[in-house]
Structure 1
């Protein structure tokens, strides 16, 4: 890890060309910082994990008010999300690199009573440092796909030694639990809690705000949100949108790129489409003439869902692995996604089976379900209700996680 550190730094500098925040606060990456004092520590890599952890963070704040809550991330967008969602109610810094001296430096400062790691972040030195200091470690909402398991199996001895330092693995499902055991976790270390992402609740007033936005655009206009798009998807979305406009001239597209460094490029593509487009960040008023809104703002994805009729979830027409469809499902939106959704292999198949989503192989297949949903109110309603019902049926992971937290806090 020490040998690789210069590469980590060069990677940060490379990424900072598009997002200068990557070259800021470098001291935190080595365990230096202003955060001090005993705490409960929760680590969430980036935006998705931080949003998923929101119900857990709220419960921790409510049930352990006597403890400071530290939330760490590894990306600037994750950092921004922590500040936006929780403000001054939590402490925040970047997770240090997995170097013994950097971790020791942070642990001396924060002295955690418990470390909760969201999803699948297996850091050998971090886990060993916690075990050496008798700090309980909970791997929460833990997922491990077949593909990831095969990758970890190449370094099975190191993974086994690392997992031995985990107090409890709260797996999303039975298959995830089995995969962790196949990598060396003991059966008594693993409990199946379900997926905490189902325990997210729509914030009060959000649906009403979405209706207000639609009034600006024209309340009767159909609205399609293309969420978390990646390179290679934007042009496909725009071509399908042009076709849909032939049948539905009033259709409005909300294009939301996944990463801030892509905002400018996507805005240019939308402008070049020849259709009237507006950037959210420009602060301009939307009107009935607007054909495309570029969602180039942070923290408003839920508002876009609240304002839409149907949703495309990106990172899936290209081999990225897809993104979380559950927020769209919670709003009762029919969901369409590409077939590359292996990062959410525990969600998309049952959601599709429930009738709330459709997976398509490419551009040619994307057009038909969108046109059907936007033209046929009955089919649209049935699909949206199925998506929402699926979301509500699978809640309950948070209570299971909190039982584990209380148990570990007594150690």
Structure 2
């Protein structure tokens, strides 16, 4: 069987091996209904491209919003009202039941305090967890695992990214693995129609003089063996969960597969692009409506699919920065500052918009053009790491940032 892609990333003992067909040994098992008690999970989703938080969670109770966005605002009668001031874009209607059940919380005017308007730099800062400093080699989500549950250190799927390569956020000393496609993760295995490359492939790494690469190769084969009791080719989502077609929906569906396969997933990461709307952003229809529909329906399906595992799972969303408060001359928005973050899960104290709202009057805007930042993203993530994952060493996870329970927003019970 030909191997179509091989990606080796040394910095996190990761190996991704994609193959042309599904290994035969992945056709045998049944998914576990639930993980053993105490297996807390954190799923992080990155909205790449700088999402327009003002058109996602709309401050429809503030007249300045409508004055600054004459052609791309979300009309008040279309907004899904939450509390009289804020409401959801109509494409996020699938979130409303989770909000009503108080498992979905919003943090507005949140993000990175660094003033950069560079996508690359801002994403790097939010994934490293060190805004303004480019010398950090590892990611905060990897560091979050450093002192957390030492008995899980041998779990090869403890930290997993759904994508073709390991993202910045999971780079580091703790074992992490990237899976581009659950169905194609592995080697020839027992497929009678496949070329007998598995043994020779594994032998190549067993004899490698590069100990880091050797370890990386072994990590892959150990991980493949862990999937032998899973059946990704026949997986059916639970409770009628309906994932939309597309990369993001597939990534969350596969995240649910790995979680429910009882492989010890503790943190997971994926991302979704398509948020950089400088031209013709749209309103209730158009570019932002389309990507929000995919975003919302995918997360809602994932939530439904988890079933009882919702109680042990927290999902956090983030984007590198927001958009300008005023629309531009092309009926779009340009690179801004503060944004909105979502937090949902069983332990979440939802049904509430957290954070201090700075307002959209001219004198309240950051640099006279953007939503001002009132909640540092590390405050939100720090609470998830400390309260949910149980890692108390926040100074290591987010160095040079004063982060303690006294400053938490109270998002998690």
Q: TM-score, normalised by structure 2?
A: 0.29
More helix per residue: 1
Q: TM-score, normalised by structure 1?
A: 0.29
Greater RCO structure (CA 8 Å; 6+ sep):
2
